[in-house]
């Protein structure tokens, strides 16, 4: 799996958009970008994934640059409940051996 680089921490005001960056300059053509988050001591929660097109679901949007070397997770209207550690993971999704390798992630603090 390609290595990812994320800022260790970020702050965001409640109601504002939270933009979490991720660098994955060594990503290969068949690797997808996945985002998970872990709210204090709970099990990690899947947020979104994508290959090269921008993706949006009910939780967030994922913007992937054209060269695929970086991406941004966008939480459009952050709430206090979005305070968590956010993990950007790059991996090939298919096959029967497809574990996730978690890095240190970005600790997002949403404040009033």
Partner 1 sequence: DSGVTQTPKHLITATGQRVTLRCSPRSGDLSVYWYQQSLDQGLQFLIQYYNGEERAKGNILERFSAQQFPDLHSELNLSSLELGDSALYFCASSPGSLGANVLTFGAGSRLTVL
Binding site for partner 1 (CB under 8 A): 32, 34, 36, 38, 41-46, 49, 93-105
What's the min distance (Å) between Cβ of 48 and partner 1?
A: 10
Give the span between the Cα atoms of 2 and 41, in whole angstroms.
26
Give the span between the Cα atoms of 109 and 111, in whole angstroms.
6
Residue whose CB is less far from partner 1, 35 or 82: 35
Residue whose CB is less far from partner 1, 78 or 89: 89
The SS3 of residue 110 is strand
Residue whose CB is less far from partner 1, 41 or 112: 41
- Residue 19 corresponds to which tokens in the numbers above? 């933009």
What's the min distance (Å) between Cβ of 53 and partner 1?
A: 14
Q: Tokens 């994955």 sit at which residue?
A: 24
What's the min distance (Å) between Cβ of 112 and partner 1?
A: 26
Residue 46: Cβ within 10 Å count = 12
């Amino acid at each position: 799996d390609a290595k990812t680089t994320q800022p260790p921490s970020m702050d965001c005001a409640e109601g504002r958009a939270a933009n979490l960056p991720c660098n994955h300059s060594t990503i290969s053509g068949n690797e997808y970008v996945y985002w998970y988050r872990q709210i204090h001591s709970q099990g990690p929660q899947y947020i979104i994934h994508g290959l090269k097109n921008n993706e949006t679901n009910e939780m967030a949007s994922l913007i992937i640059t054209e060269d695929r070397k970086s991406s941004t997770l966008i939480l459009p209207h952050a709430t206090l409940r979005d305070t968590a550690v956010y993990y950007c993971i790059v991996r090939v999704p298919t096959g029967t051996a497809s574990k996730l390798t978690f890095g240190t992630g970005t600790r997002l603090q949403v404040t009033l």
